[in-house]
Structure 1
């Protein structure tokens, strides 16, 4: 059985929904928890910066988990820094960081204000940056770390009235792609989880017919795998309704056009040929993509780049 005994996990947005489910799942498998949320309430955990996280804290206490509770907004980098310092003073390490805090307010682009746009980025993207930046040095020192970013299907594919949400979530995918490479030599795995489960945030757009299908089971299982010593890194996992899948960005077979003949009219004329042309190609990095472009052109121009 996968266990997390003596490991320390920090979970943001832990007051409700999936953040609460993640904290409980980790506690049931022996982890020590530092739970963070901007909500308020009574707490049976030792609490800092407010009363905070009553429901989750009580459940963790009933499970016998060692935990700390922090009521703060993840956009407040100084408050977050103080919380992480407290965690390190208490336990001396941080093994797992789950960036789950997020907001979701559908709005048409016509009605979207810059303040709404900025708030979405501040919570979802910058909040994840702040926590990750704080735990990164400690994880490097201990030569171990597991970091999970919470993305969303709308970020991968887009949806109506979701431009700020989609933007912030897709930005996290880019963060994972590059940060995982920096963590490789320090045994720090960084991954994206794209979850969907029945919570207060999602209840309004799941039909009554399918709501029972969206339990937290597959989401929790995927999250626990990403927190484990056997976790992959630099990957994007989608989990919902009993399904777990692996997603990535791929390049379809390129359409080679002689440079002098490469005009917008040609692309328009050959779009059906270009769109989703097989086979697909996966590139490990942006540099690898650039190399692929160079090799294609070099071969046609009889240039040896090997």
Structure 2
């Protein structure tokens, strides 16, 4: 069954180049009316120009699609509100939001300034929050919405010299985990894409042969599955070089210690047991962990709940 976005409106941030561009082009090719958002700065967040966004709009319209450009800084609530207002004035709805805009300021933590740490957190985290907040009520009222956060293997697993970027990208997973619960009854589905592609952000980090395999288009193929009508909810999809995988946070079944045994020495002594993956599960709400631990305690102590 073909995936279509006919009759839908999508906003893609950071869409002037790289992954954002291919996301916007593919959404348009599949029928979406697209807002191409890009501040036009470099990978470090410096400068600004509308040229890149306008060029992507031209690609879309030349191919027979509909698109508009908007240069909102995703961290500026007033500018984002203007982008959303203009979108609603033109097309009357917003179905898809792709939070793709981002920056890099890589250094080891020892050499990194607090300003560089804060700036990367602001763009990735608060940029996604600001854009999501601006469309959230619209999606609630129309009882439909698809939102994708852009996370990263740097956040999921760590990467040398990217403490700021990794912290920001993992924060977006936590953001998704709660939004998908709050948006569920309004058919707002929220997912995360963990991409690996040859873009301005990866230049010089990988050998050319690897970059040649790591096309933005291969990542976009995964992205499209996270924001159509049949999209999953609360999924972290890793995509790169034609490979696709689901990343999941599991919690082991763990152990229980009686009150008189609840000492750090006993916790340490049973680290192998509490780390045993047998019986581990994916928890989808924080309360599940609480009930698991309380259940173990109640069962051991014979307390009726």
User: Which range, TM-score by smaller chain?
Assistant: over 0.9
CA drift of 1:53 comes to 1.6
Quick check: 1:52–1:69 contact (8 Å CA) kept in 2?
no
Q: Which residue is equivalent to 1:270? A: 270
The correspondence of residues 45-56 of structure 1 with structure 2, limited to 5 A, is 53-56=53-56
Q: Matched residues in 1 for 2:157 and 2:9: separation?
A: 34
**3-state DSSP of counterpart to 1:97:** strand
Q: Which residue is equivalent to 1:246? A: 246
Q: Which residue is equivalent to 2:199? A: 199
Residue 17 in structure 1 maps to residue 18 in structure 2: yes
**3-state DSSP of counterpart to 2:204:** helix
Q: Matched residues in 2 for 1:77 and 1:278: separation?
A: 46
Q: Which residue is equivalent to 2:150? A: 150
Residue 176 in structure 1 maps to residue 176 in structure 2: yes
Q: Matched residues in 2 for 1:263 and 1:3: separation?
A: 57
Quick check: 2:54–2:69 contact (8 Å CA) kept in 1?
no
Q: Matched residues in 2 for 1:212 and 1:113: separation?
A: 34
The correspondence of residues 157-236 of structure 1 with structure 2, limited to 5 A, is 157-236=157-236
Summarize the Cα distance change of 1:38–1:276 in structure 2 as closer, same or farther, 3 Å threshold. Answer: farther
Quick check: 1:251–1:282 contact (8 Å CA) kept in 2?
yes
Q: Matched residues in 1 for 2:290 and 2:272: separation?
A: 25
CA drift of 1:278 comes to 2.1
User: RMSD between aligned alpha carbons?
Assistant: 1.7
Quick check: 2:10–2:35 contact (8 Å CA) kept in 1?
yes
**3-state DSSP of counterpart to 1:112:** coil
Q: Matched residues in 2 for 1:131 and 1:262: separation?
A: 45
TM-score (structure 2 length as normaliser): 0.92
Residue 29 in structure 1 maps to residue 27 in structure 2: no
Summarize the Cα distance change of 1:221–1:150 in structure 2 as closer, same or farther, 3 Å threshold. Answer: same
Residue 7 in structure 1 maps to residue 11 in structure 2: no
Deviation track 1:172-230 (CA, whole Å, cap 9, x = no partner) reads 10010000011111111111111111111112212233222212344212211111100
Quick check: 2:40–2:50 contact (8 Å CA) kept in 1?
no
Deviation track 1:240-292 (CA, whole Å, cap 9, x = no partner) reads 12121112211113133333223222333333443344231222200111111
Segment drifting more, 250-259 vs 171-180: 250-259
Q: Matched residues in 1 for 2:270 and 2:285: separation?
A: 28
Quick check: 1:217–1:242 contact (8 Å CA) kept in 2?
no
> What are the ranges of 5 or more consecutive residues in structure 2 without an aligned counterpart?
42-48
The correspondence of residues 273-292 of structure 1 with structure 2, limited to 5 A, is 273-292=273-292
Residue 101 in structure 1 maps to residue 106 in structure 2: no
TM-score (structure 1 length as normaliser): 0.92
**3-state DSSP of counterpart to 2:225:** helix
Q: Matched residues in 2 for 1:83 and 1:211: separation?
A: 33
Segment drifting more, 266-275 vs 8-17: 266-275
Q: Matched residues in 2 for 1:294 and 1:144: separation?
A: 37
Q: Matched residues in 2 for 1:190 and 1:175: separation?
A: 9
Q: Matched residues in 2 for 1:217 and 1:62: separation?
A: 19
Quick check: 1:218–1:244 contact (8 Å CA) kept in 2?
no
Quick check: 1:150–1:195 contact (8 Å CA) kept in 2?
yes
Summarize the Cα distance change of 1:115–1:140 in structure 2 as closer, same or farther, 3 Å threshold. Answer: same
CA drift of 1:51 comes to 5.5
